Chains A and B, each alone.
Chain A
Amino acid sequence: MGISLKEVSYSYNPKRKGTKYALKNVSLEINERDEMIAIIGESGSGKSTLVSLFNALKIPTLGEANVMGITIKKIRKRKENYNSIRKHVGLVFQFSDYQLFEETVLNDVMFAPMNFGYKKEEAKEIAIKALNLVGIDESFYEKSPFQLSGGEKKIVSIAGILAMEPDILVFDEPTAGLDPETKKKMIELFRVLNRDLHKTVVFITHDMNIVMEYAKRVIVVADRTIKYDGTKEELFLNHLDIVKDAHIDYPDTFIISKMINEKLNKNINQLLESKEELLEELLKDE
């Protein structure tokens, strides 16, 4: 179960001769429980295409995708409705403006459960549960989503996905353009989802500090394919060439400890997860 891609390629114009693939020959396995995965890479490297294969928004041109036991292949005669997959893999887009449309916050969050055939009352119950989870209180329910601040919109749009009660959650650049406060809330939410509810959380990001602090597994996408799939420690210990080629930043703790080690001939762990840990290490070192 979970997500499994086998030698998947994807092209936007598969019929055109000499077509360019947005994604080439990608294989990966993602468990439906307890994973915390960061997908990193430049804009246009194919990250967003990759995650839209996870919930059958895109169908592989070549190869085979299997999500929650359902095989997604190109050759299908009937118009396929992949809602059973989308219910299990929730995809949160970068811009909440792409998603919000109802007159009230509550109705907007109810949109997904209603699409999945729940009755109005049930959908309302589920929506309220999702809004509670993200910390949006009752005073917001009847507000128009368009009156909210950018950060609040983002949080509501996440509730709209959580209302599908998915096992796997995929976030496309969840912290980009957010103020530091909402950013903190978002990361706190990741922890709740992952540690307490044992869901798999996948997030695309450019912020390597977040990757270092929270991700357990890192997937590097560059040149339209997966260049690395493994632990962050292994990536920064042995694959700095990949980091460089993919135009990825280094985490602050890594840069600073590396510089201290090189210039002052010290031996500080370069793979510390947060600045607080680095601080402790420096104090201990003295």
Chain B
Amino acid sequence: MNNFVLGQYVPGNSYLHKLDPRAKIISTIVLMVAIFFFKNVYAILVSLALIIILLLTARLSIIKAIKGLKPLLILSLFVFIFQLLFNRQGDIIYNTKLYFSLTSISAILLITIIYFISLKYLKLKFLWLLVYLSLIFISLKYLSFVELFNPFDLNIYKEGLNTSLFVFFRLITIVFISTLLTLTTKPTDLTLAIEWLFRPLKIFKINPEEIALIITIALRYIPTILDEAYKIMDAQAARGADFKNGSLIKRIKQLVSLLVPMFVISFERSDELADAMLSRNFVPGKPKTRYHILKWNYKDTVALVIVTLFLGGAICLYILP
């Protein structure tokens, strides 16, 4: 349950941990913008290497960082394959015929079945996906016996390869940068920093303190609400509700038996919480003092200067031919 509150945060004492969260958020944004100015894959690879060096010098586990990539990894892979197949600029650098034959299709079916069965027992699912995709490619390429359709001409163009690599690594680098932030910053510190950074919004009558309070209360109650959800599911399962099997319509009906109690309990909770807050002298919009005070250090300035220089460099590379 704790995962939801701490997010990906890994407690530590490195220089990245010690930076002011405001400096970290601003740096993250600046770095991301810089990455978008890069036009070629080498600059991106150099940046990625730099980020990984930062990661390692802060004694962060690279495996943890890669795990953080997970949700986006598959997306980037598909973007990569899509670019590779459909971008037809530049010279052809690779050409092959793919055969849709009885043998290749049955091989693919077999591989797919094995893949989905084995998924349950394997840990490195992403690597396994790569193996799966390569096996499909190999069967299409070499198993030509009893052809069913005309073979497909697979051409890979130079620009296509370049662009797809570029897009792929740019995405990964950006995710890595944000992972660097979430791995080294407590959500509560992030909240404080967001509150500070949102101060200009006061012009539009948006109170940053309220935004911060909402985030904090959400973080506080996510574990409680999840725990409740499990208990409600149990209580309904005890009455024969089945959330896993059955037709879609039936499952949606069962879902109502989960959602209604969750809403009812949450409304009750918000009433009680509001009372508890009022009785502790909470008055929306009234000035308050702060327990946690963010301290800006010279190191934070140094960090900002470095990333700004990096951005400057990126812009120069962009403008210069």
Chain A positions within 8 Å of B, measured between CB atoms, are 52, 55, 57, 79, 81, 83, 86-87, 90-91, 93, 95, 97-101, 111-112, 115-116, 146, 160-161, 164
Contacts and interface: CB of A to CB of B under 8 A. Distances in A.
B107 to A, nearest CB: 26
Given A79-B245, A98-B228, 10 more contacts: A57-B237, A87-B240, A93-B234, A93-B238, A97-B268, A99-B235, A101-B257, A101-B260, A115-B241, A116-B240
A55 B238 contact: yes
Interface in B242-299: 242, 244-245, 256-257, 260-261, 264-265, 268
B265 A86 contact: no
A95 B231 CA distance: 10
Contacts of A98: 228, 231-232, 235, 261, 265
Contacts of A111: 236, 239-241, 257
Contact of A161 (B232, B237, B238): B238
Given A97-B261, A98-B231, A91 B240 contact: no
B39 to A, nearest CB: 46
B238 A90 contact: yes
A121 to B, nearest CB: 18
Interface residues of B, number: 21
B241 to A, nearest CB: 6
Q: Which 9 A-B pairs have the closest CB atoms?
A: A115-B240, A101-B260, A112-B239, A98-B235, A91-B238, A93-B235, A99-B235, A98-B232, A101-B257
Nearest to A163: B239
Interface of B: 228, 231-232, 234-242, 244-245, 256-257, 260-261, 264-265, 268
A13 to B, nearest CB: 11
Nearest to B242: A81
A160 B234 contact: no
Contacts of A87: 240
B136 to A, nearest CB: 27
A55 B236 CA distance: 12
B245 A81 contact: yes
Nearest to A98: B235
B244 A79 contact: yes
B254 to A, nearest CB: 8
Among B235, B238, B257, B268, chain A packs the most CB atoms within 10 A around the CB of B238
Contacts of B268: 97
A97 B261 CA distance: 6
B239 A57 contact: no
A102 B39 CA distance: 58
Contact of B240 (A52, A93, A101, A164): A164
Nearest to A83: B240
Contacts of A81: 242, 245
Contacts of A116: 240
A140 B241 CA distance: 24
Given A112-B239, A164-B239, A164-B240, A97 B264 contact: yes
Given A97-B265, A101-B260, A115 B234 contact: no
Nearest to B238: A91
A64 to B, nearest CB: 21
A100 B237 CA distance: 13
Contacts of A52: 234
A83 B242 contact: yes
